[in-house]
Each structure stands twice: as C-alpha cells, then as structure tokens.
A = this chain, B = another copy of it.
Amino acid sequence: MAAEKIIQYIKDEQMEPGDRLPTEYELAKFLEVGRGTVREAIRSLVSRNILEVRQGAGTFVSHKNGIPEDPLGLAFEKDRQNLALDMMAVRLMLEPEIAALAASNATDLQIKALREQCDKVESLILHDQPYRKEDAKFHQILGECSGNRVIRKLVPVITSSVELNIGVTRDKFKMNTVALHRSITNSVAHRDSVGAKYNMIMHLNVIRSGIIDEMDEKKRELSQEI
C-alpha cells in the first residue's frame, strides 16, 4: 500500500514533525506508483493525523503524531454520563501509577515544565477562565514525566476522549483541582512516588464522586417529574 510505503519513507529518513515531504511528483517516482495513488495515500495519512497539508507550502509530517481524532471510537456511544464514569474507572487504573512513575523518572526539565503547567492551570481557575485544555495538558506532561513511551501516547488518547464524553460540569471541583494538582506536582518534585500516586487517587476520586452525585440528582429530578 502506498500509505504504508510513505510511513516507511518517513521512518527511513528519520523525519520529525514539521519536516516537509517530497512533492507528489517526486514521491510517485520514488515509490513507483501513479500520482493519483500518491494523492489518495496522502489524503488517508492526513486523516490519520500522520501528515498535514499546508496550502501552497506542501505536505508535512504532522505534529499530531498520528494520534487520530476520537481514537477510542467513542463518538457513537450513548449515555454520556455512564461513559464518563467508565472513563474515570480507566483513569483510576492508569493515572495513579503514572504519577508514581513520574516521581521516579521525571528529569529536572520535565519537573520544571510540570510546575509551570500547574501554575498555568491554577491561574486560569483563579481568574475564572476556561481551563479544561490546560488541565488535560497537565495530565499529559505528567505522562511524559513517566518516561514510558506507551503512556506518552496513551494519555492524550484518554484526555481527548475525556473532552468528547463529558457533559458533566466540573466547575464544582475547581478548587480541588487547584489543590491536588499542586500536591501531585510537589510529590513528583520530591521524588515521592507514594505521595504522587495517592494524591492522584484523591484528585480523580473527587471527580468520580461528583459524577455519581450528579447522576443521583438527575434521577431524583426525573422521579419528581413523574
């Protein structure tokens, strides 16, 4: 398949995100296929977030690193609140262990980045600004601190899916997020893997409990309507 050949080419040439690919014409010649086939292959790699086309500038290796939109295919799932709860169960399996690994493995530079992101989220929350995206990024930086490459890829999958599936208001937990992001960051900086793990459990469990409370509330409202 031409798409797989292009992936092989990117690997062989050790290309990085942002690097420009040869032109369609050159690729066709190099891969010994027609230009239509190359065009089709590029299109499919763009929708897999492996390449990006910038109008007039050419085709580039994507910064999205091949992580697809809706990577878990959750777009079709109904009952978003139970889905949010299922997601929290998965996050509770992964993120406390990730936090513990981060405390063991983070480089000084990564700890600095984590602190800065912690400050950023805190400042957004205290100034009543939208903070979800930066919150997700905090968890992503923590994943990078773990030094595990699968985790580094998996955390954005989880956090992007979180954005997809949460209709639940998190604003109640704002101050909890401020306090516990700070505790997690300090635990990582102190190389305290036990602290990092249990602070993460507290953080996620407060959110989980909040989702359950909201579901109960909705049930109560529904039963009053009847």
- A contact set with B: CB distance below 8 Å: 7, 10-11, 43-44, 47-50, 65-78, 82-83, 86-87, 89-90, 93-94, 97-98, 101, 148-151, 153-154, 157, 161
| A86 vs B70: C-alpha distance when bound (angstroms) | 23
Q: Least Cβ distance of A79 to chain B in Å?
A: 9
Q: Could you list some 8 contacts between A and B, CB below 8 A?
A: A48-B68, A66-B73, A74-B149, A90-B151, A93-B93, A93-B97, A150-B161, A157-B157
The listed residue (B43, B78, B101) touching A43 by CB distance below 8 A is B43
Q: Least Cβ distance of A60 to chain B in Å?
A: 14
- Chain B residues with CB under 8 Å of A97's CB are 93
| A25 vs B62: C-alpha distance when bound (angstroms) | 33
- 9 residue pairs, one from A and one from B, having the closest CB atoms: A66-B73, A72-B153, A44-B47, A86-B150, A86-B148, A68-B68, A47-B47, A93-B97, A90-B150
**Count of chain copies:** 2
The listed residue (B44, B65, B72) touching A157 by CB distance below 8 A is B72
- Chain B residues with CB under 8 Å of A48's CB are 47-48, 68-70
Known: A65-B76, A74-B149, A89-B151. 18 other contacts (CB 8 A): A10-B76, A43-B43, A43-B47, A48-B68, A50-B75, A66-B70, A66-B73, A66-B76, A68-B68, A68-B71, A72-B153, A72-B154, A82-B149, A89-B101, A90-B150, A93-B93, A93-B94, A150-B161
Q: Least Cβ distance of A167 to chain B in Å?
A: 15
Interface of A is mostly: helix
- Chain B residues with CB under 8 Å of A154's CB are 72, 90
| A167 vs B151: C-alpha distance when bound (angstroms) | 20
- Chain B residues with CB under 8 Å of A98's CB are 93
**B11 touching A76, Cβ below 8 Å:** yes
- Chain B residues with CB under 8 Å of A7's CB are 75-76
**B10 touching A72, Cβ below 8 Å:** no
In this complex, which of A44, A67, A70, A149 has the most chain B Cβ atoms within 10 angstroms of its Cβ?
A149
**A73 touching B83, Cβ below 8 Å:** no
